[in-house]
Chains A and B, each alone.
Chain A
Amino acid sequence: NAGVTQTPKFQVLKTGQSMTLQCAQDMNHEYMSWYRQDPGMGLRLIHYSVGAGITDQGEVPNGYNVSRSTTEDFPLRLLSAAPSQTSVYFCASSLQTGWQPQHFGDGTRLSIL
């Protein structure tokens, strides 16, 4: 029972590079979401999905792209990395949309130089 799995755990990028943060869950949860956590800012919602094929923007979507082709996977793409995107990224899932993130992944610490 892996729960929510995020890869990689750490990543350093140069400005302008693109990359994909992977997120997978094995609990058959419909709702998945991506957050970024910055010091003193709490968690801010980037994108979320209420089921396969359905995604929507959260509070801070600019510079990020998502897709949900399967129930299990919800990758987050950085299109052209910027230093302002240096952060810790958490993927989360829950059984229903109103239940908030029930389970979080361990996070990806991303540094943009």
Chain B
Amino acid sequence: AQSVSQHNHHVILSEAASLELGCNYSYGGTVNLFWYVQYPGQHLQLLLKYFSGDPLVKGIKGFEAEFIKSKFSFNLRKPSVQWSDTAEYFCAVNFLSGGSYIPTFGRGTSLIVHP
């Protein structure tokens, strides 16, 4: 089965620090890549997505992600975090299998930003 790994389970930063969250996947075929954010008590919201083209993708709230095909990675970055970025972050990969895209989520990274 395909898998998505998020190596950082818990990250604690101070405001204005830079953020990078890792995401790796196990599939060598066609994929679409996504990052979601889940604020406490809320549902998931799409931060950004990559289908094709420029491997550097910019999303909402100042987040960006870079797709490195050779490393099977799609890391999320933000130059300067804010207290309001405290949330859970999920990487997700849509694997193309048998004509359908099958979504698989990573286990999530909990980010706490101290003011």
- Interface size of B by CB at 8 A reads 25
Q: Which residue of B lies closest to A40 (CB)?
A: B107
Chain A residues positioned under 8 Å from B46 (CB to CB):
100, 102
Contact B103 A33 (CB under 8 A): yes
Chain B residues positioned under 8 Å from A104 (CB to CB):
43-45
- Interface size of A by CB at 8 A reads 25
**Stretch of B12-20, B55-63, B67-75, B94-102 at the chain-chain interface:** B94-102
Q: Give residues of chain B (8-59) contacting chain A, Cβ–Cβ below 8 Å.
A: 9, 32, 34, 42-46, 49, 51
Q: 4 smallest A-B Cβ distances: which pairs?
A: A104-B43, A42-B105, A42-B107, A43-B105
Residues of A within 8 A of B (CB): 33, 35, 40-45, 48, 50, 56, 58-59, 90, 92, 97-102, 104-107
